[in-house]
Structure 1
Amino acid sequence: MFQGRKIVVFSIVTDAFGGFGGIAQYNRDFLQALAASRQVERITVLPRFGNVPGTDPVPKVEQLPAVHGRIAYALQSLVNLRRVGHVDLIFCGHVFMMPVAVLLARLAGAALWLQVHGIDAWQRPSRLLRWSVRQADLVTAVSRHTRRRFLSWAEIAPEKVKVLPNTINDKFCPGPKSTALLDRYGLRGKKVLLTISRLAASERYKGHDRVIQAMSGLLAEHPETRYLIAGDGDDRPRLEELARRNGVAEHVIFAGQVPEEELVDQFRLADVFVMPSIGEGFGIVFLQAAACGLQVIAGNRDGSVDALAEGVLGRLIDPLDENALADALQDALNAPNLPSPEAVRRLCPERFGEAVSSLVQHVCLKSDANDIHCQT
């Protein structure tokens, strides 16, 4: 189809460089891997949210200013598609953006690649979105769980839907605790539980409240325990009030939004990373925590199972079982069971990059390549 020439990619995403959270991180890793592919000439990225870096984030990648508002975003995508000129591949980073992506692909005569992450792709959407999804040449899902949930409603050939899980940067590794952060949060001599995520009312499925409710019982045996919650959002006041009502406010620390340059040190402060979620598409934070040498506790009802390699990297529990959570926290503090560094590195950037390159060939060259072995 392209006869060996390099391709031009136009990408529409929620956020990437300058954004926060797991999806932004995934998009950054994906775009870096895509840019590193010898088959790609250049990539233009139009985000809905996030800050624009001062310079192009990586070679061959141009990120445009974020555009808020659906109509304004759709119009700017058309304007910038025309500015870019010839485009071979449209990458759509969120299922809700697919109607725009289909229009762009039709106008450009380009192949269309959809990425699906988590809960937004699990439920049967509107007729327009279902029609849009059918137009995709390739769909990648971050986990087997998300792929199953997506295929439960998507009217698309299953062989078009591949699993491309998160990767993890080498900077996430064990190291000393930051004395500055220990002093900032008063954590010297403490046992630290950690959760890093947005505190959004729409994401209460992550389970912060269940950990807070488990704290009073945990403190009876481990009074030196502190629960560090990193992240911010509109649900923070409710969680702060919940900690007060449960009499554990002095033991629960709200750190607010963590700057990217402090993220690794935040993980290293903790002994246990806990997020008993019921709605994770994958959960890159689980990998980051395990790579930094933390014990990890996660739920067994979502993509967390893939992130923890079905229990190899941490303990999977029923996230809605209060006793299971309490027992897992007690066990983690009483008898630490650290993850294997070799198991953590199964999703290294090199392997991720190879998978992305193979998928580029699969979608753009219309080859008969075998299924990509990037599944966990």
Structure 2
Amino acid sequence: MTVLICIPCLMTGGTEVQTLNLVQALIAGGHRVVTVCYFENCEDMVSRFQNAGCEVVCLSPDGIRIDGWRGILFLYKGLRSVLKQYKPDVAHVQYMAPGAIPILLLRLLGMRQILTTAHTAADIYPSLKLVHFIQRHCVRAFTCITELAERSFFGSSQLYDENYPLKKRNHFTIYNALPTSLPIAQKRSTVNCPMTIGVVSRLESIKGMDLVVPAFAKVKAAHPEVRLLVVGDGSLRRQMEQQVQAAGIIDSVEFVGSQPQEVLAQYYDRIDILLMPSRSEGFGLTAIEGMARGCVVVAARVGGLPEVVCDGEVGLLHRKEDAEDMAYKIGQLIGSHAELSRIRANALLYVSRFSIERYLALIVNLYSKL
């Protein structure tokens, strides 16, 4: 059947990477896939969707976002044109703002088989009345990326599996999956010399990047040999570079900028301890990417991270916005190679639940029941 994937933007974030996984799973299942992007888009991500075998329609070629009633009219006309041209059997809406409006417009335009995926928890919404209305009356399935997020929306949760009996209206959790470009390492028993702490992230406040250098400076004062690798770019890069200069640790920090998804494995392989001090995180794709390559994750106790990074077993959690606690947790790992090795071994086994093969099987099974 023909599946229409609806998404506000096609940039380089974790949501787009996960949506690409969805596209690849559907194509592997024998479906024709069309992705419609409403607003912002970049050539690289559009090309990656097309190379996967997906047809891409950008409603706004220049990527300009339109708000208010003009935006609703713009979406209505764009979706109507796409439905008329491609005649999809199913629409799968990626539920980021705006997410509710396209669902309502698709129903108005006659779509009956609609699925939606929420990429955040409910705490970003001032009210859940519209979400509950959509789940009960508009979509066949409302899927979440963590059980924590599902409970925040609906008060209960259930992991989807092949035995799930699909009803007229459903909500359940399907975990995000590792990108195909990041295979799970078979083994990683050695520690880099010198030991390397790293981040792979957009360098933005929401990712807690302003906390990284202060925490690293505290660790380095006790362990002079450690190094920091910063993979990514963003509005805080200049501030982070200034923090490095002020702390007098220029020789111990390396900024490599943004890197293509296809080469990230080689950077993860250089990192022993991966930091995720996010202020908000729906799932934490970087966490499972790092675990797949043998990094030990030290992450903030926010959003979906406590569910993905089981504290003390496959990683360590620190208090939100607390550089001191982050530095303490890093120090625990540096001070005990045996503990670091134990957690790393656990993570390499644990991360298989997020494999692309498992995700593909669940998506194919779900769509077979529609």
Q: TM-score range by the shorter chain?
A: 0.7 to 0.9
Which residue among 196, 200, 225 is the counterpart of 2:204?
Answer: 200
Cα shift at 1:277:
2.1
* 1:218-297 → structure 2 map (5 Å cutoff): 218-297=219-298
Q: Is 1:143 the counterpart of 2:146 in the alignment?
A: yes
Cα shift at 1:29:
0.7
Q: Is 1:62 the counterpart of 2:55 in the alignment?
A: yes
* Change over 3 Å in CA distance of 1:173–1:243 after alignment to 2: same
Alpha-carbon contact 2:121-2:153 (below 8 Å) kept: no
Q: Is 1:12 the counterpart of 2:6 in the alignment?
A: yes
**Which sections of structure 1, spanning at least 5 residues, go unmatched?**
1-6, 178-187, 365-376
* CA distance in 2: counterparts of 1:311 and 1:213, whole angstroms: 23
1:344 partner letter: V
1:288 partner letter: E
In structure 2, the partner of 1:116 is 118
Cα shift at 1:55:
8.4
Cα shift at 1:93:
0.8
2:304 partner letter: G
Q: Deviations over 1:75-95 (max 9, x none)?
A: 4333222211x2221111123
Percent sequence identity over matched residues? 21
Which residue among 344, 351, 358 is the counterpart of 1:344?
Answer: 351
Cα shift at 1:242:
3.2
In structure 2, the partner of 1:357 is 364
* CA distance in 2: counterparts of 1:120 and 1:252, whole angstroms: 37
* Change over 3 Å in CA distance of 1:160–1:322 after alignment to 2: same
Which residue among 12, 19, 26 is the counterpart of 1:34?
Answer: 26
* Change over 3 Å in CA distance of 1:311–1:303 after alignment to 2: farther
* Change over 3 Å in CA distance of 1:118–1:250 after alignment to 2: farther
Alpha-carbon contact 1:29-1:167 (below 8 Å) kept: yes
Describe the SS at the equivalent of 1:346: helix
Alpha-carbon contact 2:96-2:118 (below 8 Å) kept: yes
* CA distance in 2: counterparts of 1:281 and 1:224, whole angstroms: 34
Alpha-carbon contact 1:197-1:230 (below 8 Å) kept: yes
1:273 partner letter: L
Which range moves more in the overlay, 221-230 or 62-71? 62-71
* CA distance in 1: counterparts of 2:51 and 2:297, whole angstroms: 31
Alpha-carbon contact 2:176-2:285 (below 8 Å) kept: yes
Alpha-carbon contact 1:122-1:150 (below 8 Å) kept: no
In structure 1, the partner of 2:160 is none
Alpha-carbon contact 1:193-1:226 (below 8 Å) kept: yes
Normalised TM-score (structure 1):
0.78
Which range moves more in the overlay, 287-296 or 250-259? 250-259
Describe the SS at the equivalent of 2:345: coil
Q: Deviations over 1:276-313 (max 9, x none)?
A: 22411111111111111111111223211222245532
* CA distance in 2: counterparts of 1:198 and 1:321, whole angstroms: 19
In structure 2, the partner of 1:214 is 215
Cα RMSD between the aligned structures?
3.1
Cα shift at 1:320:
3.5
Alpha-carbon contact 1:284-1:307 (below 8 Å) kept: no
1:258 partner letter: Q
Q: Is 1:23 the counterpart of 2:15 in the alignment?
A: yes
In structure 2, the partner of 1:98 is 100
Normalised TM-score (structure 2):
0.79
1:347 partner letter: F
* 1:293-312 → structure 2 map (5 Å cutoff): 293-309=294-310, 311-312=312-313
* CA distance in 2: counterparts of 1:138 and 1:173, whole angstroms: 30
Q: Deviations over 1:30-56 (max 9, x none)?
A: 111122225x3x111012323232883
**Which sections of structure 2, spanning at least 5 residues, go unmatched?**
156-166
* CA distance in 1: counterparts of 2:25 and 2:312, whole angstroms: 28
* Change over 3 Å in CA distance of 1:76–1:314 after alignment to 2: same
In structure 2, the partner of 1:332 is 333
* CA distance in 2: counterparts of 1:33 and 1:107, whole angstroms: 27
2:223 partner letter: H
